[in-house]
Amino acid sequence: MTRVFCIGELLIDFVAENQGNDLSKATLFTKKAGGAPANVACAIARLGGKSSFIGCVGKDPFGSFLLDVLKRENVDISKVQRSKTFTTLAFVSLADDGERDFVFSRGADRALKYDSKVQKDFERNILHLGAATAMLGGPLEEAYAHYFFDALTKNSFISFDPNYRADLWKDDAQVFIKKCMPYVEKAHLCKFSLEEAYLLSGKHTVEEACAMLHEIGARIITVTLGKDGTYVSTKTLKKTVPSIKVSPIDTTGAGDAFIGCLLYQIAQLPTYNTVFEDDGLLLAMVEKANKAGAITTTNYGAIIALPTLKQLEA
């Protein structure tokens, strides 16, 4: 079975107990494991796939907690690094509609150092680049770019999810866009939210956004639309795939569950080219990935809410 390597941040989500309010009104928090690429790795493993996480956590109790969570989820953590810098934290509150209000306190995630020995493991495997913090400079950004180049030279299938967080970029959105372009150009699969598709393309409809992003180089584009499903775009396919109806209570990790499920399915294929050649297969895979994302919104937290294969096939 093909292995999926997920690179980026692993962090603590402190989730506010008094849901339905913004962070300014939060007083009590529950500690949960989080970080977009780590969530994706767990989503794949929970479905029975093989995933490895590459990132950095602190040499502190929070870092140990996070690694214990990933081990329990059967994610390979042999390439995780530990730093004297404190583990990265995120504080999250949820509005009545399940949308998030959150802020980061960055720490050890930025300290990831490039390890040239890892590149041999990318040969014909999948690399998922999905870090919210990877474009913010420092060793992590350098390692991220190095691993991306390694994947290109090792015939890897490359997946890219920019995970744009407005509070991390403030007035520097144009810098974010510029840094994303090399990844959009070379990725086989790009997963965007509607906001990200509009931001990166400068367009105002999903069709125009995808057309622009295809011109840059992206081969398969999925744009998640929340309860409305996912817009799928290739050179030969333009279609919205509906999702199942649920009553969401927490959208944290829904996009990660979606892309994790999609990558899990791609990893089962005898050759990656199949997903480029068979529109019907791609649509069926996206439909199942939509279901994974929807199920995740029906529980609090990200990793704990990820579906198993049994739930997905029910």
Query: DSSP letter at 39?
Result: H
pLDDT of 225: 96
Kindly report, residue by residue over 212-229, the tens digit of the pLDDT.
999 999 999 999 999 999
Q: Answer left, alpha or beta for residue 93, where phi above 0 means left and psi between -120 and 50 means alpha.
A: beta
pLDDT of 10: 96
d(Cα 91, Cα 25) in Å, to the nearest integer?
12
d(Cα 72, Cα 76) in Å, to the nearest integer?
10
Report the range out of 100-114, 116-130, 242-256 with the highest average pLDDT: 116-130
Beta pairing partners, 11: 34
> How far are the Cα atoms of 206, 224, 255, 275, 282 from residue 210, in angstroms, in the given order?
6, 12, 18, 18, 17
d(Cα 131, Cα 28) in Å, to the nearest integer?
27
**CB atoms < 10 A from the CB of 100, how many?**
17
Question: Cβ distance 230 to 258 under 8 Å?
Answer: yes
Kindly report, residue by residue over 128-175, the tens digit of the pLDDT.
999 889 999 889 999 999 999 999 999 999 999 999 988 788 889 999
Question: Cβ distance 303 to 42 under 8 Å?
Answer: yes
Question: Cβ distance 45 to 51 under 8 Å?
Answer: yes
pTM, two decimals, is 0.94
What percent of the chain is modeled with pLDDT above 70? Answer: 97
The number of helices, as runs of H, and strands, as runs of E, in the chain is 11, 14
pLDDT of 82: 98
- Find the length of the chain: 314
Q: Residue 305 above 80 pLDDT?
A: yes
d(Cα 209, Cα 223) in Å, to the nearest integer?
10
| Structure confidence at residue 20 as a pLDDT band (50, 70, 90) | low
**CB atoms < 10 A from the CB of 80, how many?**
20
Q: Residue 269 above 90 pLDDT?
A: yes
Tell me which of 74-83, 85-94, 211-220 is least confident. Answer: 85-94
Helix residue ranges per DSSP H, the chain: 36-46, 61-72, 138-153, 166-169, 173-186, 194-201, 206-216, 254-267, 273-277, 279-296, 309-313
Cβ neighbourhood burial of 86 (10 Å; 0-12, 13-18, 19+): middle
